[in-house]
Copies of this chain bind each other. A is one copy, B any other.
């Protein structure tokens, strides 16, 4: 838990972070990634050409696929556990995975800071939390690394992995993320901070205050909006009077970008460009991925009252996991056998995680008053 001294005693504070740091994850120069595709999520067809532009090695594409399937499978398992009464409350990110995996791979997960929200199972998994960690949290076990069973599932956090612990309160993470980014800039750590949120969160005052501060100080960060068109039951048309959350960036002096969140590589491109801009010292980006929420808001919700189930079906038919799978098949990077093998490994990992969590002890009731303050 010790922290390196971050400023030299002779006041030699670095006034800006170091530019030119290499992108992780096998990406070549992010400036070469080509144009960011912007697509109407419901009508766009994914142009396979963009794969060539990505400049990504086959191995990275396969890792992306693996991450995608791992997240979807784990998420489905968790949801099932709730439905059969094994987990009292869960929240799902199904439908958001391509956006999250695309984003995760465009950042430097060894260095950058993630300020997530409750739908970011795929993103946090790609960032280093494991299915075992997730299951410990779902079953509220003492060993849950994010909260020791104190928070509901979906409240990810890990200081070791630079994932900032979040509350359930919508949008509070946004000003916190700007502070993280400010510190990164002042200390010259070279970190980019990504903060995620839904389109509903963009109505909160905290969204505005965070974007405004980030714009003024040109902070190295990305506001990543996962727009799934609903905030619980409230449709986008009652949440915003405009088509794109990204258009709000105009009020803050930095770019707003809309991307098809079902298209993993489109998201990867867009985030990589935003990362490059941030790392160069050119400030934040508001990036909006158009996605869809496959499940009800949470396991406590029933979406049939407010959502046309045909709409759900139509969007599910455009499943980003299948879209990416088809792409890699078309590129000759995946075949039935490889897919089956990946799925088999993932299933085993999830089974193991579930069993381990089930066997793990619940928190000791006597610990309920620990850690209110330091040393307590």
Q: Which chain A residues have a beta carbon within 8 Å of chain B's beta carbons?
A: 203-209, 212, 215-216, 218, 237-242, 247-248, 250-254
Contact = CB atoms under 8 A, between A and B. Distances in A.
Nearest to A175: B205
A197 to B, nearest CB: 14
A209 B203 contact: yes
A215 B241 CA distance: 6
Nearest to A171: B205
Contact of A241 (B204, B206, B208, B253): B253
Contact of A240 (B203, B209, B216, B242): B216
Nearest to A242: B253
Contacts of A248: 250-251
Contacts of A238: 216
5 contacts: A203-B208, A205-B208, A215-B242, A216-B241, A241-B252
A221 to B, nearest CB: 13
Identical copies of this chain, number: 2
A291 B237 CA distance: 35
Given A203-B212, A241-B215, A250 B253 contact: no
Contacts of A218: 241
Contacts of A254: 241
Contacts of A251: 242, 247-248, 250-251
Which of A237, A242, A254 counts the most B-chain CB atoms under 10 A from its CB? A242
Which of A204, A216, A247, A251 counts the most B-chain CB atoms under 10 A from its CB? A251
Closest 10 CB pairs of A and B: A205-B205, A241-B253, A215-B241, A208-B208, A248-B251, A250-B250, A242-B253, A216-B241, A251-B251, A203-B212
A251 B240 CA distance: 8
Given A208-B208, A218-B241, 19 more contacts: A203-B208, A203-B209, A203-B212, A204-B205, A205-B206, A205-B209, A207-B208, A212-B241, A215-B241, A216-B237, A216-B238, A216-B239, A241-B253, A242-B250, A242-B251, A242-B252, A242-B253, A248-B251, A250-B250
Contacts of A212: 203, 240-241
A207 to B, nearest CB: 7
Contacts of A204: 205, 209
A203 B207 CA distance: 11
Nearest to A218: B241
Contacts of A205: 204-206, 208-209
A252 B250 CA distance: 11
